[in-house]
A and B are shown apart, each in its own frame.
Chain A
Amino acid sequence: AQSVTQLGSHVSVSEGALVLLRCNYSSSVPPYLFWYVQYPNQGLQLLLKYTTGATLVKGINGFEAEFKKSETSFHLTKPSAHMSDAAEYFCAVIPETGGFKTIFGAGTRLFVKA
Chain B
Amino acid sequence: DGGITQSPKYLFRKEGQNVTLSCEQNLNHDAMYWYRQDPGQGLRLIYYSQIVNDFQKGDIAEGYSVSREKKESFPLTVTSAQKNPTAFYLCASSISGTLRTQYFGPGTRLLVL
Partner of A106, one of B4, B40, B106, B107: B40
Partner of B56, one of A32, A34, A100, A107: A100
Among B12-20, B41-49, B65-73, B78-86, the stretch that binds chain A is B41-49
The reply to whether B42 and A32 contact each other, CB–CB distance below 8 Å, is: no
Contact residue range for chain B?
20 to 34
What is the interface of chain A mostly: helix, strand, loop, or mixed?
loop
Residue-by-residue, is A10-34 near B (CB-CB < 8 Å gives 1, otherwise 0)? 0000000000000000000000101
- Report Cα–Cα, A101/B58, bound state, in Å: 8
Count of chain A residues with a beta carbon within 8 Å of a chain B beta carbon: 22
Partner of A43, one of B50, B56, B90: B90
Residues of B within 8 Å of A102, CB to CB, are 100, 102
B5 nearest CB across to chain A (Å)? 10
Chain B positions near chain A (C-beta within 8 angstroms): 4, 6, 31, 40-43, 45, 48, 50, 56, 58, 88, 90, 92, 98-107, 109
Instruction: Decide yes or no: A104 and B42 within 8 Å by CB, A42-B106, A42-B107 being known contacts.
Output: yes
> Which residue of chain B lies nearest to A96 when distances are taken between CB atoms in the complex?
B98
A49 within 8 A of B: yes
